[in-house]
Amino acid sequence: MAVPKERIFPTQAQVLGATRPGHDAILTPEALAFLATLHHRFDARRRELLAERVARQARYDDGQLPDFRTDTTAIREGHWVVAPIPAALRDRRVEITGPVERKMIINALNSGAKVFMADFEDSSAPTFANQIDGQINLRDAVDGSIAYTSPEGKQYRVEENPAVLVVRPRGWHLPERHITVDGEPMAGALVDFGLFAFHNARRLQARDRGPYFYLPKLQAMEEAALWNDVMAAAEEFLDLPPDCMKATVLIETLPAVFQMHEILHALRGRAVGLNCGRWDYIFSYLKTFRAHRDRLLPDRGQVLMTVPFLKAYSELLIQTCHRRGAFAMGGMAAQIPIKGDEAANEAALAKVRADKLREVQAGHDGTWVAHPALVPVAQEVFDKYMPSPNQLNVVRADVNVCRDQLIAPCSGTITRAGFDNNVEVALRYTASWLDGQGCVPIHHLMEDAATAEIARAQLWQWLHLGPLEFTDHAPIDAALFDHSLAKHTHRLIESGSPVAHRAEQASTLLKQLTHADELGDFLTLAAYEQLA
């Protein structure tokens, strides 16, 4: 893409990773100069905001509880709405999500969903090849040339009326060590956003669609303001109209739920909605309260969206969004279709249906599905209960959520089966991730970075905030964890799984993380050190 010379920052980002054929068309000198510009202008601020996360967590560790801000009351109480939502995003009843693999992108675009969220984040293991191949695939999807032939000879191409593309870059915390500026690794977020915007934003803007993004794992309005400034700078650099880049923000950290008005306000020229990222939200609840024994969570299978703290979160999100003219998107049920067992499949679909029914009846404007076969399931429910394109008119004046409801302890039990399942899922997911696969089915559930984080964080919590015991009074202790981990490691090695060779490596990493005195910030940060 031609960019006026005076806009190009003198430094180029350096590529340290091995590149493959086709990568040079993404990692062009102009694109690398654009990345360097983003890095120079915004990385120091990003690092400051990450330091604020650490300070915030230290306050929670000292016993403070998250709460609404006192310095932003005027924003919460003021009368303002977000900018008008573009036509392409006014009906988002079903959104399919998935990694940026070539075949899956085509399948997702053809799935019948209104939106496809192309994911560089929770469902991606960010090897350099995955991330840059993903950029090639998205560029080809945007320019209409994407096609794929499977090893069996099946041909894939995009059909008419594909889903609207929305891209999710990595969160602010993850580095991209294969691209550096002045010797410093770039932020994965700036690399994913920057390369996608550089190669596709103008082309998208020239059509009836635009450059649209999902923004993950924010904790505070200042982090949203940083994204706003990054996008504004990119628009200026790429000669695009101000605020044409649109953002839907995942509310998937506990601190962020207390700043939803503020986050929308920081992005008000470009915010189109918030989304209930339930899995990371549960993980964030665990992490925020890692030192609070009175807020331990039971088995993850019991932490459903109907438990009080999650119900309060989703209802407050709907009320907040609709007050501001923004969409309130629902989230992901973990069930996926089960092949070869009709009864089990029907039971899984019934769970998805019930989840979508809860969402649409609560006032959500749309929802997420993990698999193409779930598009009609979710759509049927939303079509029935949401005949208009959205339900921005549902103001939920009945909702009156206070701080204590958002952080309410969750009742339930810790079972042996739940403990063992956490060990198995954390191990098998980590092995897959280390092998370059960021989303996998385990026991017929979708497991990705967020769900795996819950599994491993719970293990840490149960071992470190104890002494705890199961319902049969057997102690929950490190010896039990070591035993279960050894058992599942052995099983994975013997399983013939394509990731069996990663079993020992994943096991060692999990052991370190679970035995550590402090709950590590992100599994994916620790594992990134070892990612090929």
370 binds ligand ACO (CB under 6 A): yes
Which pair of structure tokens corresponds to residue 36?
């360097």
Where does this chain touch ligand ACO (CB under 6 A) — which range of 63-71, 103-111, 205-213, 473-481?
103-111
| Site residue total, ligand LL5AMS7Z (CB under 6 A) | 10
- Helix (H/G/I), strand (E/B), else coil: 508: helix
300 phi and psi angles, rounded to 5 deg: -65, -25
Report the residue number, 204 or 450, with the smaller CB distance to Mg ion. Answer: 450
Q: What is the contact mask toward ligand ACO in residues 113 to 152, using x (rule: CB under 6 A)?
A: ------x--xx-----------------------------
Residues 279-308 binding ligand ACO (CB under 6 A) are 279
Q: Which residues, including other chains, have CB under 8 Å from residue 89's CB and lie 6 or more apart? A: 115, 164, 212, 246, 272, 273, 327
Q: What is the contact mask toward ligand ACO in residues 428 to 447, using x (rule: CB under 6 A)?
A: -----------xxx----x-
277 binds Mg ion (CB under 5 A): yes
Catalytic residue among 168, 209, 278, 358: 168
| Site residue total, Mg ion (CB under 5 A) | 5
In 21-43, which positions are buried (b, 16+ CB within 10 angstroms) versus exposed (e)?
eebeebbeebbbbbbbbbbeebb
- Helix (H/G/I), strand (E/B), else coil: 371: coil
Residues 246-265 binding ligand LL5AMS7Z (CB under 6 A) are 250, 252
Residues 263-282 binding ligand LL5AMS7Z (CB under 6 A) are 277-280
| Short-list 493, 512, 515, 496, CA closest to 504 | 493
Cα dist from 341 to 345, 373, 374, 378, whole Å: 6, 15, 16, 21
Angstrom distance (rounded) from CA 209 to CA 244: 10
Decide: 118 and 98 in contact? Cβ < 8 Å: yes
Q: How far is the CB of 184 from Mg ion (least distance, A)?
A: 26
Angstrom distance (rounded) from CA 347 to CA 185: 46
Residues 476-495 binding ligand ACO (CB under 6 A) are none
Q: Which residues, including other chains, have CB under 8 Å from residue 141's CB and lie 6 or more apart? A: 105, 106, 109, 118, 158, 165
331 binds ligand LL5AMS7Z (CB under 6 A): yes
108 binds, among Mg ion, ligand ACO, ligand LL5AMS7Z, none (CB under 5 to 8 A by kind): ligand ACO
Whether 168 is catalytic: yes
Report the residue number, 96 or 141, with the smaller CB distance to ligand ACO. Answer: 96
Indicate the helix (H) or strand (E) that contains 168: strand 164-168
Work out which of 31, 82, 98, 195 binds ligand ACO, going by CB under 6 A: 98
Angstrom distance (rounded) from CA 427 to CA 95: 29
448 binds ligand ACO (CB under 6 A): yes
On the 0-12 / 13-18 / 19+ scale of CB atoms within 10 A, 127 is buried
Q: How far is the CB of 437 from ligand LL5AMS7Z (least distance, A)?
A: 17
Catalytic residue among 133, 192, 435, 448: 448
Q: How far is the CB of 205 from ligand ACO (least distance, A)?
A: 25
Angstrom distance (rounded) from CA 410 to CA 417: 19
Residues 441-480 binding Mg ion (CB under 5 A) are 450
Report the residue number, 237 or 289, with the smaller CB distance to ligand LL5AMS7Z. Answer: 289
Decide: 163 and 130 in contact? Cβ < 8 Å: no
Work out which of 75, 251, 450, 499 binds ligand ACO, going by CB under 6 A: 450
Residues designated catalytic: 168, 448
| Binding stretches for ligand LL5AMS7Z (CB under 6 A) | 122, 250, 252, 277-280, 331-332, 450
User: Using CB under 6 A as the criterion, which residues of the chain lie in contact with ligand ACO when the complex forms?
Assistant: 96-99, 103-104, 107-108, 119, 122-123, 279, 332, 336-337, 370-372, 439-441, 446, 448, 450
